[in-house]
């Protein structure tokens, strides 16, 4: 079966750096996505990786290793507004999105 694994919850301190990991086992691969979802709100797109390596976008970076079935989302200079759930999703060989359950990130002052 297809599977996306990410930690259920993480805690970090304001101003620090946090890395949220995602491992996947899917039938084929056509890209990996990270979405941010604040409590009670809609998910919003953060990043897309289809080739190995690091994609940087401001304070957020996303890394992909296709051979390891692994990605991480790196958040720098954490702010209180970064408290949210972070969803990892993979597009499989049928171009269907498979979603992880999300990682709830708690930022403490």
Partner 1 sequence: IAGITQAPTSQILAAGRRMTLRCTQDMRHNAMYWYRQDLGLGLRLIHYSNTAGTTGKGEVPDGYSVSRANTDDFPLTLASAVPSQTSVYFCASSVASGANVLTFGAGSRLTVL
The closest alpha carbon to 39, from 101, 83, 99, 87, belongs to 83
Binding mask of the shown chain, residues 20 to 39, with x at each position contacting partner 1 by CB under 8 A: -----------x-x------
Binding mask of the shown chain, residues 62 to 101, with x at each position contacting partner 1 by CB under 8 A: -------------------------x-x-x---xxxxxxx
CA distances from 47 to 56, 61, 76, 92 (A): 9, 8, 15, 17
Residue 60: CB minimum distance to partner 1, A: 15
Residue 85: CB minimum distance to partner 1, A: 10
Pairing of strands 9-13, 103-108: parallel
Residue 83: CB minimum distance to partner 1, A: 18
43 is a site residue for partner 1 (CB under 8 A): yes
**Vertex 21, ends 15 and 27: CA angle to 5°?**
150
Q: Could you tell me if 105 and 20 are in contact, meaning their C-beta atoms sit under 8 angstroms apart?
A: yes
In the complex, the residues that contact partner 1 under the rule CB under 8 A are 4, 8, 31, 33, 40-45, 48, 87, 89, 91, 95-102
């Amino acid at each position: 079966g297809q599977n996306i694994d990410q930690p259920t919850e993480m805690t970090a301190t304001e101003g620090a750096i946090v890395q949220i990991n995602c491992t996947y086992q899917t039938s084929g691969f056509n890209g990996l996505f990270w979405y941010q979802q604040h409590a009670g709100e809609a998910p919003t797109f953060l990043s897309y990786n289809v080739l190995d390596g690091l994609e940087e976008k401001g304070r957020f970076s996303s890394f992909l290793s296709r051979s390891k079935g692994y990605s991480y989302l790196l958040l720098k200079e954490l702010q209180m507004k970064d408290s949210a759930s972070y969803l990892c999703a993979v597009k499989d060989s049928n171009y269907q999105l498979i979603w992880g359950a999300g990682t709830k990130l708690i930022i403490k002052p």
